[in-house]
Amino acid sequence: MPDAPAPAGIDPRGPRFAATVTTVLLVIATYLALTGISPRLGEATGSFGWFAYQPLADAVYVPGTSPFAQRLADAGFVAVAITAALFAWSVVSPRTAPWGVVFRRLVRPRLAPPSELEDPRPPRFAQGVGLFVTGAGLILHLIGAPWALVIAAGAALVAAFLNAAFGFCLGCRFYLLLQRGGIVGRTRAV
């Protein structure tokens, strides 16, 4: 199978800059998830364990609201949802994603030109992996899974931190493995 033509290259410092900002956002989101409703969901009682939800005395509880509405209004949920929305934006329209625009307009003009450009597909795939992980955490949190939001935010945080601090992109490595297996990044012969 022939390789698909690679799109124009991108400055490899751009995704690393975005990972740095995402790391900061995910530190905040993970903290809020740890201090919110998610860790206490496991203390609920009921026949299905973590699917049952009972408001706790120390949780913020507004009389007359449903448990679903409480989970939806949880600060950790909102912070992870914002991060997931930014991941989605980066997947759907990478040219207009906020951190890419900030990098291109404010940071890159102050740097020397990159020594080489990289294929934009692996970083875009990595954003999709981040969206999948945080999206799964959001959905599981909404149905009442204890610690789901914290675990999803923490996993995304570790991946973003590795990229920001060491330039090691887990999602990019996964993309390359899938590409070697012929699953992504290749066109079919007609």
> Angle between the 75-92 and 13-35 helix axes, to the nearest 10 degrees?
160
The reported pLDDT for the residue numbered 188 is 53
Is 6 within the bounds of a domain? no
Its pTM surpasses 0.85: no
Q: Which residues of the chain carry a pLDDT beneath 50?
A: 1, 44-59, 190
Is 31 within the bounds of a domain? yes
The reported pLDDT for the residue numbered 46 is 42
For residue 61, give its domain range.
13-180
Phi-psi region of 97 (alpha: psi -120 to 50; beta: other; left: phi over 0): beta
Pairs from 90-93 (Cβ < 8 Å, separation ≥ 24):
90/18, 90/124, 90/127, 91/124, 91/127, 91/128, 91/131
Q: What distances in angstroms separate CA 114 from CA 28, 71, 97, 148, one per listed residue?
A: 31, 45, 21, 39
Is 116 within the bounds of a domain? yes
Q: How many domains does the chain have?
A: 1
The reported pLDDT for the residue numbered 67 is 84
The reported pLDDT for the residue numbered 166 is 97
The reported pLDDT for the residue numbered 96 is 96
Is 41 within the bounds of a domain? yes
> Angle between the 170-180 and 121-142 helix axes, to the nearest 10 degrees?
110
